[in-house]
Structure 1
Amino acid sequence: MNKSFVFLAISLVLTIGEACTQTPTQQTLIFEKSISNLRNQRYCEVLIGKRDWLKLEVRVFNTQGLNLCPEAQWSSLTKESIVKDYDASIAILNGPRYWMMDEIQAAGNTVNDVKETFGGIEMNLRATVKLSLLKQLMGSKNYTANEVARTTNFVYRAGSTVYELTSPAGDVYVMQSYSQIVNPSLNIKDLPVLSEQLKLPAGWTYRSRMLDQDLSLVANGVAYVLQDNLSNSYQRR
């Protein structure tokens, strides 16, 4: 299984909510739950996929709001044990990761009480990968956007620094989490000069900038997400 598929796990969670009005072409979303002070907070995910003939549903479980993914327990987890324990077709360990937004707000099916425990680490169900992504399972590519089913608002506060990839077509993707999957020593201090480690395709650019006003990335049922070659994840603006 290509590790680049792990970007499909884009996690969410949360405590108390507020309303957010979108563009006129979208319905008004009421975000039921939210959690703040997320920036640079550690989390991990487990993805469980069950195949039914040519169909595959991947459920994304996340530690956010429950624990900080204890390293000793996380490092002892294996994909093989999860596949066996949950009668799954595939299992993917996605982490550790660190959030880059300041707040997450969630609504709809993203808010639920479905929990599982993996190797003693409690996690909540946060997203489901769409079945149309089956073609990605056997070799998803970096710098290629995919759809993740969730209803969320990622909030980046004024004064925060954001890190962005821009495609040749002009689409801008904002980093939602950095990863220690490929480079275990990567940390937030490395992000301003991350381009030195990235293998950007022709026409792609990477930059950092400080926000002069809040930035909200709203996903009304679907988020478009990609990963770079270090497994850092980004959502399209």
Structure 2
Amino acid sequence: MHTFEIYEEYYKWHPLEGESATEIYYLEYGKDDPPNQYEPTEPLIAKSYTDDIKKTRREHKRQLWLELNGVNGVPKPVTYYQEEYAYLFYIALPGVGADEFLKEADDGTRASILKQAGRYLSALHKTKVEDCPFIFYDEAGGMHDDIVFGHGDFVLSNLIVNESYITGSVDVINIGMRDRYVDIASMAKSIETLLGQEYVDHFFDGYRILGEVDEGKLEYFKGH
């Protein structure tokens, strides 16, 4: 039995909503016999970029690199499978997307989650990595003048919340070195769109830049 047949036979696949160019499934272990080393019993995510096999492989490589470098709060890779199509498999972070969670939350819970989002991003930006090969800025500088290790698509839908606590972030295909305001602006724009401008300060407070936001860089990266 090859790798993909194991996942087809021993797991229940539940489709999740994602971007139009991706297929994402939540996998639950459903075999009666005890598992072996190739059959994790934790819930898994199976993900495929249907428009480009190379993108599926690229995100899997990023997940492996994150694990190798001890970065916390990101998906733990399990395996990668490719024939005429490709899937990456990783252990599911417990919870739901923050966008879904926050729609039904009260104001106090919203404030708490958004402050946690700021703290999570601040911790990610402080991650010390050696010789990161993923570079997303012009060496000449410009607006990229405060380079950190960042997420690259830090929006509410990529932040996972479980029982009012953030468990991590997903969609790590664009992780790498860039200006910190790429992530800050991305999340600020996401909060404004879903909840309104009045909620953004909670995120800034968590990141500890409330009252010290570089408005020029914020607006620049919102548009890029």
TM-score (norm 1): 0.27
Going by fraction, where is strand more abundant, 1 or 2? 1
Larger radius of gyration: 2
Going by fraction, where is helix more abundant, 1 or 2? 2
